[in-house]
Structure formats: C-alpha cells, structure tokens
Chains A and B, each alone.
Chain A
Amino acid sequence: MSETLLSLQSISASMAGREILKSVSMEVRLGEFFSLLGPSGCGKTTLLRIIAGFLQPNQGKLLWCGSDATHLPPQRRDLNLVFQNYALFPHLNVFENVAFGLRMQKLPEDLVVSRVAEALSLVRMNQHARRRVTELSGGQQQRVALARAVAPRPKLVLLDEPLGALDLQLRKEMQWELKTLQRQLGMTFLYVTHDQEEAFAMSDRIAILNAGRLEQVASPEELYSRPASRFVAQFIGTANFIPAEKTSLDHARCLNSNHHFLLHETNAEVLPENYPINGDILVRPEQIILKKKQTEELKSLSGVIQMRQFLGATVRYHVELQGNHKRTLTIDQSSAGHEPIATGEHVSMLIINPSSSFFSESRLT
C-alpha cells in the first residue's frame, strides 16, 4: 500500500446554517488519480475548497503528509488547483501564466524558462507560448491552466470539473491526455466531477459524495460490482433492483422466480432468527439474458418488452417484470448476433451474475 498524502478526518462544514459536509473522512494516496464524484450540490466543491485552503472546516482535521494542515493558508500548501473556468490571468501571455507559480517561488530566470517550456510541451502548447490567453480556444486554455498548475511541481493537483465547458469529443480526448499526463508526472491528481463516466475513465479510486456524506471510496470496478448503498448502485451505471429475500448471511432468493444468489455482502448485524429479510438484489443491465418465452420456466423471471433502443454495441430493452412485484428493468444485450425482440413480446430473463449485492427494504430511501 502506498503512502498517504492527504488525510481528511471527520470534516464537517456548514454555510449560512446549512450543513454541507457531514463528517467526511478519507485518504488520498501518493501518486494516485483520485476522483470526488457526486451529483451537483453534494458538497464536492466545498470539500475541494477546504483541501485547497480557501475554506475552513467547522470541524475535523486535514492532515498533509501526516501533519496538521487544517489552518495553513492556500499560498503555503504544496498543491495547485485547475479551476473550472480556468482562471487564467488575461493580462499575461501563455508563458507568463505558466511561469506565475515559479516566479512566486523566486526561482532563477533560467530555471523558470526551462520549467515553463517543459510544462508547455507536456500539454503540447509550446508553440503558443507568446500568445495572449484571451486568443486561445477553450481546449487550449484548459491546457494552459493545467500547465500552470503542474509547472511548480506540487505534490497534489486539484482539478475542479475542468472539462465541463468542453464539447464531448474534446472531453474524451482530454480525459485520455489527463490520465497520460498524470502517469508521466507521477503526481497525485484529485479530480472533482459529477460525470460518472469521466471519473471511471481516469480514476484509480473514486469517492462518492451524496448530500454532504461520503457514501463509498473504492476502485471503479468495486463501486460498480459492490456498491455500498442503493444510492451508489443507482449513481454508478444503471441499476435494476429485483425483489428478493435474504435467507442467510450470504444467500438470497428471488421473489418472482426460484433464482438463488450468492451474496458477497456479509452484513453480520442481523441475528439468524430474523431471516428472511425482504429487500432487493442489484442486477446490472448486462447481467441478464433475454429469451423469447416458449414454455413456463421455473428458474427465470418473466416479463413483457416495453421498448427497444439500438445503441450500437448493445441493444437496450425496457422490460416490465411480471408477477407480484411489478417494475421496469433495463436490460442490455450485445448487438453481435442478437435477434431483435419486438415490443409487446413475452420474454424470460436469466440472471447470470455469480454474486451480487442485497439491499434490505429498511434502507430504501
């Protein structure tokens, strides 16, 4: 396990009497690409501003390389921020913008020049060093802002939804570039976004923030397959909740069919005599195989196709689950060799996940 760079300990913050962060604790490790992901208004920007030093938490501590940095002013923190609106200095050209942090450190001029040249070539902007920043396109400004943040070689680079203003194509390109850049530099990146795909595309680990509370910190794979809460399950990708009952510590049974599930969640709080517990099993859209219904099958769920969408690599079906617990499921089938099923047809569904997550009813929000 690598070294901890930044550690937040029960950080709470409120503004104008409203609680924005509720006892958030997490750790960012040296050299990782870490994302803070959450819907807008979840408090991720507040958390970012606390880490950068522009805000003070009402409670809690911020440890930087093991020592308390909660009240350190922003200019004395060894981290740089890439702002959402870039916040480039319009009166300075590209070169001077990138040089700003180095000049503040009072580095000798020849070192400033070589560091700026290096940072600009990393973002492929060395051809534009003398241009005014106001003449640059959004993508170019983005690159300059990035170069300005990495040029002083901080331990941590904070990125506040830096790709939000770019169009989709450019955003995809920049995601790739950011990830490559972070690997090349070996710097720690803390990336704030509300875009789940973006976070997944780049991050080593992701923290999910919801209404000021930290829901889960895990790798993208783990978040997807083992979400800690219903919120995470729904926020990350598409989630189908299929009615089920938990019959033992690691076992659940589907209510509409005879499916049995192995659970990887081992919630030992429940006493054995309280089983079975009613709730839902999480099933991802690609974990179900659809078949036209021929005969009554015991081991599968049955449903009626409501809508079909062709998405290219996959075909997405919205299927109404039949039985006592009616609900609509989203099911993806690989489009390769797939024979389309018409709307209104009865289908049987086979769940193919070997292990799954169970959410009891009491946790239903």
Chain B
Amino acid sequence: MKWWGLPAKIWMSCFILLPFLWLVLLSLQPTAASTSITTFDLHQFSRALTPPYSNIIIDSVAMSFLAALTVLAIAVPVTWSISRMPSKKKNLWLALFTIPLGLNFVVRIYAWFVLFRPEGIFSRALRGFGLDFAFVSSQFGVFVGLIYGYLPIMFLPLYSVFEKMERSQLEAAQDLGASTLQRWWHIIIPETRSGLFASFLFVFVPMLGEYLIPRMIGGGLVATLGTQIEGQFLGSGRPNWPFGAALSICLLVAAAAVLSSSFILLSRQKSEKSARWSIAHLD
C-alpha cells in the first residue's frame, strides 16, 4: 500500500466525492419537501430537460462557448505581443493587464451596469451618436459582461503558454520560408495547442455556471443556467433544492460533454497528422 496517495484520496472523498453524492441523492428526490433516502425518481431531471429549462441549458452552453472563444480571440494577440516584449516592459504590461483581478468582481461588473444603464454616461454618449441599444437587461449585455469579466483571468495562463515559445523556433520557421500567417498556423498554434485549450477551459467552465454577471447586467431578465441554479437554492421565491441539484448535474454533464468532445477532436487531428507522416515516410 502506497501511503503517499492518501492525502489526495482523503481530499477527494471529503470535498468532492461525498458532496457530489449528496447532490446526486438530492436531485433524485421527487419534491422539494421530501427528504427520503429510499424513494427516488427522475422527475427533477425530466423537468430540467424539457422547455423552458432545456432551452436555457442550450442557450447558456452556447453563450459561454462563444464568450470563451471571444475572450481567447482577444487575449491571444494581446498576450502574444506582451510575451514578445523585452523582459522589463513585459512585467509592467502584464501587471497593467491583470490589475483588474485585484478589484472585487462585483464592483467591476457593477461598474458596467452603472455606465451602460439607460441613464448612464456611456449610454447617453452612444445615444448622442444615434446609437440606441439596450445593453442592460439584454442577452447581448450579459455576453459582453462575461467577456469583460473573464478576460483578465485568461491573460495569465495564456501568457505562461506563450512565454515558453522560443524565439529561435519562430526564426527557424521564418528562415525556412514561413510567412507570419504560416508561422502561426504551422508552429505557434500546434505547439501551444494544449495550452490554448486549457486556457479556454479555464474561462469556459466558470462562465457556464456564472450567475453574478447575468443577475447584475441582465437585471433578472436574462435567464441562464447559473441564475436558475442560484434561484433554486437561494432564491427569494420558493427554493427547490432537488431541482437545483438536477440543474447542477446538467451543468456538470454539459461541461464534461464539451470537454470530452474537444479532447476527442484534438486527439483525432493529431493522429490523422501522424498517419500522414508515416505514409510520407514509407513511400
């Protein structure tokens, strides 16, 4: 018996496995009032997987996925350019970009609400230019809020990925005739692939369960998986813990599904490439 695995096992059982089992048990309760551990049914799940809740789940997954992709698309050029700076400048810029992380999340999000509510200065300024759109209480507003809220979180993991990319490799590629676009496509993306993927997950998964941003910017009018779960557990109306537990498990399954399908996609791409290599060699 190898004892050194024990701390990890204890941690897993106490803080992950047991609470999760409790969540599963809870989700199998037929009604909010019942506390039986002998009668189970899938009533809560059938409710979660039919409209309107099934639509909310799909919308949330789609929105988080798109928002995480957008964050990645913004963070990649920014962090790349920082990672290529001389080291003195690098630290300064990295600090500037991650300072928002030091501010309270609620304050940061509330600032958006203040600026973009109908009587806020940004909204008034935009109206002055003839642009009138509902930002607060709209799906779009929540989407932008998610991007803003999670952008600084993406910078650090992505930076550490790009930082490791050696200059000499890019120069070697350039020397062998690769243009900027070809260097990205053939060298940077393949070499940092797993890091890009991890950074994406780093924001996508918490976005999926996010309820502060939809609550504050959405003003209770934009329903996401996060706000629904929160409502079932802490809501001012009638809390329904078993239903909240079922929604949580749906969230977990959705996240796991996106994760595993991306993994499969990534590894298939890799094996296809290596198959091409071996064919090329055998000829």
Chain A residues closer than 8 Å to B182, beta-carbon distance: 104
Query: Given A113-B283, A129-B281, are A75 and B177 also a contact pair (CB < 8 Å)?
Result: yes
Q: Does A275 contact B (CB under 8 A)?
A: no
Once the chains bind, are B178 and A104 in contact (CB under 8 Å)? yes
Cβ distance B269 to chain A, nearest Cβ, rounded Å: 12
Q: Contacting A75 at CB < 8 Å: which of B168, B174, B190, B274?
A: B174
Return the chain B residue nearest A78 by Cβ: B177
Identify which of residues 100-116 in chain A touch chain B, using a CB-to-CB cut-off of 8 Å. 100-101, 104-105, 109-110, 112-113
Q: Contacting A113 at CB < 8 Å: which of B171, B173, B191, B280?
A: B280
Per-residue CB proximity of A6-19 to B under 8 Å, as 1/0? 00000000000000
Per-residue CB proximity of A84-119 to B under 8 Å, as 1/0? 110111110101100111001100011011000000
Return the chain A residue nearest B192 by Cβ: A91
Q: Does B111 contact A (CB under 8 A)?
A: no
Query: Given A83-B168, A87-B166, A87-B168, are A52 and B177 also a contact pair (CB < 8 Å)?
Result: no
Once the chains bind, are A104 and B176 in contact (CB under 8 Å)? yes
Once the chains bind, are A152 and B168 in contact (CB under 8 Å)? no
CA distance A89 to B172 in the complex (A): 9
Once the chains bind, are B174 and A85 in contact (CB under 8 Å)? no
Q: Does A81 contact B (CB under 8 A)?
A: yes
CA distance A110 to B280 in the complex (A): 8
Once the chains bind, are A109 and B280 in contact (CB under 8 Å)? yes
Once the chains bind, are B283 and A89 in contact (CB under 8 Å)? no
Q: Contacting A74 at CB < 8 Å: which of B168, B175, B274?
A: B175
Return the chain A residue nearest B190 by Cβ: A91
Cβ distance A48 to chain B, nearest Cβ, rounded Å: 11
Once the chains bind, are A100 and B176 in contact (CB under 8 Å)? yes
Q: Does A148 contact B (CB under 8 A)?
A: yes
Chain B residues closer than 8 Å to A81, beta-carbon distance: 171-172, 175
Chain A residues closer than 8 Å to B15, beta-carbon distance: none
Query: Given A93-B277, A110-B283, A129-B281, are A152 and B169 also a contact pair (CB < 8 Å)?
Result: no
Q: Does A176 contact B (CB under 8 A)?
A: no
Once the chains bind, are B177 and A83 in contact (CB under 8 Å)? no
Once the chains bind, are B280 and A112 in contact (CB under 8 Å)? yes
Once the chains bind, are B278 and A130 in contact (CB under 8 Å)? yes
Chain A residues closer than 8 Å to B274, beta-carbon distance: 93
Chain A residues closer than 8 Å to B166, beta-carbon distance: 85, 87
Identify which of residues 47-102 in chain B touch chain A, using a CB-to-CB cut-off of 8 Å. none
Once the chains bind, are A54 and B171 in contact (CB under 8 Å)? yes
Return the chain B residue nearest A81 by Cβ: B175
Query: Given A74-B171, A83-B168, A112-B280, are A152 and B191 also a contact pair (CB < 8 Å)?
Result: no
Once the chains bind, are B171 and A89 in contact (CB under 8 Å)? no
Q: Does A80 contact B (CB under 8 A)?
A: yes
Q: Does B46 contact A (CB under 8 A)?
A: no
Once the chains bind, are A152 and B176 in contact (CB under 8 Å)? yes
Once the chains bind, are B171 and A83 in contact (CB under 8 Å)? yes
Identify which of residues 139-178 in chain A touch chain B, using a CB-to-CB cut-off of 8 Å. 148, 152
Q: Contacting B168 at CB < 8 Å: which of A73, A76, A80, A85?
A: A85
Identify which of residues 311-325 in chain A touch chain B, using a CB-to-CB cut-off of 8 Å. none
Cβ distance A310 to chain B, nearest Cβ, rounded Å: 43
CA distance A88 to B169 in the complex (A): 7
Once the chains bind, are B277 and A152 in contact (CB under 8 Å)? no
Most B CB contacts (10 A, CB to CB) among A84, A99, A104 go to A104
CA distance A96 to B168 in the complex (A): 18
Cβ distance A187 to chain B, nearest Cβ, rounded Å: 15
Cβ distance A321 to chain B, nearest Cβ, rounded Å: 49
Most A CB contacts (10 A, CB to CB) among B168, B182, B283 go to B168
CA distance A228 to B172 in the complex (A): 36
Once the chains bind, are A91 and B281 in contact (CB under 8 Å)? no
Per-residue CB proximity of B247-283 to A under 8 Å, as 1/0? 0000000000000000000000000001001101101
Q: Does B23 contact A (CB under 8 A)?
A: no
CA distance A84 to B166 in the complex (A): 13
Q: Does B179 contact A (CB under 8 A)?
A: yes
Once the chains bind, are A95 and B281 in contact (CB under 8 Å)? yes
Per-residue CB proximity of A24-50 to B under 8 Å, as 1/0? 000000000000000000000000000
CA distance A88 to B174 in the complex (A): 13
Most A CB contacts (10 A, CB to CB) among B178, B187, B280 go to B280
Per-residue CB proximity of B173-211 to A under 8 Å, as 1/0? 111111100100011001100000000000000000000
Once the chains bind, are B169 and A89 in contact (CB under 8 Å)? yes
Chain B residues closer than 8 Å to A73, beta-carbon distance: 174
Once the chains bind, are B174 and A130 in contact (CB under 8 Å)? no
Cβ distance B138 to chain A, nearest Cβ, rounded Å: 42
Query: Given A75-B179, A109-B280, A112-B280, are A91 and B191 also a contact pair (CB < 8 Å)?
Result: yes
Once the chains bind, are A95 and B168 in contact (CB under 8 Å)? no
Once the chains bind, are B280 and A74 in contact (CB under 8 Å)? no
Return the chain B residue nearest A79 by Cβ: B175
CA distance A125 to B7 in the complex (A): 48
Return the chain B residue nearest A114 by Cβ: B283
Chain B residues closer than 8 Å to A101, beta-carbon distance: 176-177
Chain B residues closer than 8 Å to A80, beta-carbon distance: 175-176
Cβ distance B178 to chain A, nearest Cβ, rounded Å: 5
Most A CB contacts (10 A, CB to CB) among B169, B176, B179 go to B176
Return the chain A residue nearest B193 by Cβ: A91
Chain B residues closer than 8 Å to A129, beta-carbon distance: 281
CA distance A87 to B171 in the complex (A): 9
16 chain-A/chain-B pairs, Cβ below 8 angstroms: A54-B171, A54-B174, A73-B174, A75-B175, A75-B176, A79-B175, A81-B172, A87-B166, A89-B173, A91-B191, A95-B281, A99-B280, A100-B178, A101-B176, A105-B177, A113-B283
12 A-B pairs besides A74-B174, A89-B169, A93-B274 with CB distance below 8 A are A73-B174, A75-B175, A75-B178, A85-B166, A87-B169, A87-B172, A90-B191, A96-B277, A104-B177, A110-B283, A148-B176, A152-B177
B residues sitting closer than 8 Å to A (CB atoms) are 166, 168-169, 171-179, 182, 186-187, 190-191, 274, 277-278, 280-281, 283
